[in-house]
């Protein structure tokens, strides 16, 4: 099982660093120390290997989010802890960075990506509903919109940090969310959110 695991580990790293389309089996072999045959013995090809690797990444990120969002503290404290998580901002999101690639969206790799965002959204919205129930945020706050905003701000924060080549850009964007959520918590129960 050793070489197989080495191949998966190398693929996880390369998917993060160079993405799927630009990741060559040759690079995977070099990074893992395996020979040509090992890859095609254990996996049907590049896509099958990437799928296994990506599903592992998905599990890791889900676990990290779960630990915080189902952890200690009031609902809004947990949201805040999620927003202040330490992230390798300029490296980009291990899952979100793959989304622009056509070869990802139009292949089996789309499934774990969509699943991850759905999971994260459900998790965050659940916490926001708790915050509403406990009175931390107004009754009429739009939890679905705020959920999507939080996820988008994280993803966009990665993009900004990479564009500026500066981790701080992501923190600034996420502090913006925290700042507006703080204002929401101060607002009365009838703060007239946007109509759709």
Partner DNA sequence: GTCTATAGCGTGATAGAC
Partner DNA sequence: GTCTATCACGCTATAGAC
List of residues contacting DNA (CB under 7 A): 1-4, 23-27, 33-42, 45-47
13 interface partner picked from its own copies, DNA, none, CB below 5 to 8 A per type: none
60 interface partner picked from DNA, its own copies, none, CB below 5 to 8 A per type: none
Per CB under 8 A, contacts with its own copies among 107-136 are 110, 113-114, 117-118
We find the least distance from the C-beta atom of residue 1 to its own copies, in angstroms, to be: 31
87 interface partner picked from its own copies, DNA, none, CB below 5 to 8 A per type: none
Closest to DNA by CB, 33 or 176: 33
108 interface partner picked from its own copies, DNA, none, CB below 5 to 8 A per type: none
DSSP, residue by residue, the chain = -HHHHHHHHHHHHHHHHT-STT--HHHHHHHHT--HHHHHHHSSSHHHHHHHHHHHHHHHHHHHHHHHHTSSS-HHHHHHHHHT----GGG--TTGGGTT-HHHHTSTTHHHHHHHHHHHHHHHHHHHHHHHHTTSS-TT--HHHHHHHHHHHHHHHHHHHHHHT-HHHHHHHHHHHHHHHHHHHHS-S---PPP-
Alpha-carbon span 65 to 70, nearest angstrom:
8
18 interface partner picked from DNA, its own copies, none, CB below 5 to 8 A per type: its own copies
Rule CB under 8 A: is residue 85 a binding residue for its own copies? Answer: no
Per CB under 8 A, contacts with its own copies among 63-82 are none
- Which positions ≥6 away from 40 have C-beta within 8 Å? none
Binding site for its own copies (CB under 8 A): 17-19, 21-22, 92, 96-97, 99-103, 105, 110, 113-114, 117-118, 141-142, 144-157, 159-160, 162-165, 169-170, 172-184, 186-188, 191-194, 196
């Amino acid at each position: 099982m050793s070489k197989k695991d080495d191949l998966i580990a190398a693929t996880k790293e390369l998917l993060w660093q160079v993405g799927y389309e630009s990741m060559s089996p040759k690079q995977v072999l070099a990074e893992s120390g395996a020979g040509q045959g090992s890859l095609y013995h254990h996996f049907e090809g590049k896509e099958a290997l990437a799928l296994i690797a990506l599903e592992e990444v998905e599990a890791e990120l889900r676990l990290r989010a779960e630990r915080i969002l189902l952890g200690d503290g009031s609902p809004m404290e947990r949201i805040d802890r999620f927003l202040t998580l330490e992230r390798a901002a300029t490296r980009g999101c291990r899952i979100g960075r793959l989304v622009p690639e056509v070869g990802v969206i139009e292949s089996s790799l789309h499934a774990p990506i969509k699943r991850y965002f759905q999971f994260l959204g459900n998790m965050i919205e659940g916490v926001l509903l708790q915050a509403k129930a406990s009175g931390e945020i107004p009754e009429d706050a739009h939890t679905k919109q705020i959920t999507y905003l939080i996820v988008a701000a994280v993803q966009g924060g990665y993009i900004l940090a990479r564009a500026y080549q500066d981790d701080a850009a992501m923190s600034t964007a996420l502090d913006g969310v925290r700042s507006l959520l703080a204002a929401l918590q101060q607002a009365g129960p009838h703060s007239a959110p946007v109509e759709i």
